[in-house]
């Protein structure tokens, strides 16, 4: 199956001792770029969280938000750092003296200074916490993958429709091309007759000119490669997996052949169809950017 790089998943679980929620969202990106926002208490699990995520995500810019509320009443201990508080008071007094200010520091002001009062977790059961976080993370990942698959299937359906239309346009050029050679031969013969009037026409010379013209405007190879690349894209979309980079390469090759076809064409109908093919390829390339 094909996955989009745009996705969203969320899960939450509440136990008698804690509540944990995980939210995952992503957009397209050339590589895998993960940003994980954790509460300080869960920082120790960041590497483990990344390993779990790698089982579900191969490409995309992914933002992960984890929240955790501890309901246990005896898990936190407040510590007062007297030495740090004394340092603050010393500098407050110095600032008041230097700038002739009132030394109006209150306990509430001092308590808000960094590291004066800190909370320390006691009796942390890391295994229990990780089990809860992992369970919620896996559920969020499952929901996230489902949303990516749903969007990916929509992309796949639309891309296959565009490829089918492109195949019809390639078939039109293949059918039209021989007629352009015949038209050129008829125009050349008519023009020579007008110039030479009743004189003998050198059929061999006309055939030589037609062959030279045919060689210059021949798009047989381009049509073969276009059909081959179209089938390769269809196959990748059917096989699924992490095919975004391969599809991007194939889209570049499709565009190369369409450009060559357009540059060789001297027929207005073929040129118009080649432009239509190029337009469809550009649409395909834009959508492929969203495929994992």
Task: Write down the pLDDT at residue 64.
Answer: 97
* Contact call for residues 244 and 154 (beta carbons, < 8 A): no
| Alpha-carbon span 140 to 143, nearest angstrom | 5
pLDDT tens for the chain, residues 1 to 292: 899 999 999 999 999 889 999 999 999 998 999 999 999 889 999 999 999 999 999 999 999 999 998 877 655 677 889 999 999 999 999 998 888 888 788 888 888 888 888 776 656 688 999 999 999 999 999 999 999 999 999 999 999 999 999 999 999 998 888 787 776 666 666 666 655 565 566 667 666 765 666 657 678 888 999 999 999 999 999 988 889 999 999 999 999 999 998 888 888 898 999 999 999 999 999 999 999 9
Q: Answer left, alpha or beta for residue 123, where phi above 0 means left and psi between -120 and 50 means alpha.
A: left
Tokens in use for 137?
């993370």
Q: Which residues contact 231 (CB under 8 A, 6 or more apart)?
A: none
* The model's pTM: 0.71
Tokens 């579900």 -> residue: 56
Task: Write down the pLDDT at residue 126.
Answer: 87
Length reported for the chain: 292
Domains of the chain: 7-72+125-149 (3.30.230), 76-121 (no CATH), 152-288 (1.20.120)
| CA 134 to mean position of chain CA atoms | 26
């Amino acid at each position: 199956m094909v996955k989009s790089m745009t996705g969203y998943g969320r899960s939450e679980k509440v136990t008698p001792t804690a509540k944990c929620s995980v939210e995952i969202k992503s957009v397209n990106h050339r590589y895998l770029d993960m940003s994980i926002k954790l509460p300080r208490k869960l920082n120790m699990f960041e590497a483990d969280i990344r390993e779990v995520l790698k089982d579900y995500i191969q490409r995309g810019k992914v933002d992960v938000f984890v929240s955790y509320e501890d309901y246990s009443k005896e898990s936190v201990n407040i510590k007062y750092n007297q030495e740090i508080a004394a340092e603050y008071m010393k500098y407050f007094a110095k600032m008041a003296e230097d700038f002739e200010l009132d030394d109006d520091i209150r306990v509430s002001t001092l308590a808000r200074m960094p590291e004066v009062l800190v909370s320390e977790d006691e009796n942390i059961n890391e295994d229990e916490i990780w089990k809860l976080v992992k369970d919620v993370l896996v559920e969020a990942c499952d929901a996230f993958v489902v949303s990516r698959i749903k969007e990916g299937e929509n992309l796949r359906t639309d891309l296959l429709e565009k490829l089918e239309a492109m195949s019809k346009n390639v078939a039109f050029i293949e059918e039209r091309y021989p007629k352009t050679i015949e038209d050129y031969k008829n125009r050349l013969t008519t023009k020579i007759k007008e110039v030479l009037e009743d004189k003998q026409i050198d059929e061999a010379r006309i055939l030589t000119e037609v062959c030279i013209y045919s060689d210059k405007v021949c798009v047989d190879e381009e049509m073969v490669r276009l059909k081959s690349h179209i089938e390769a894209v269809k196959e990748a979309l059917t096989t699924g997996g992490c095919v975004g980079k391969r599809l991007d390469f194939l889209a570049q090759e499709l565009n190369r052949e369409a450009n060559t076809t357009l540059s060789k064409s001297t027929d207005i109908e073929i040129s118009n169809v080649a432009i239509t093919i190029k337009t469809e390829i550009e649409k395909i390339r834009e959508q492929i950017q969203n495929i994992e």
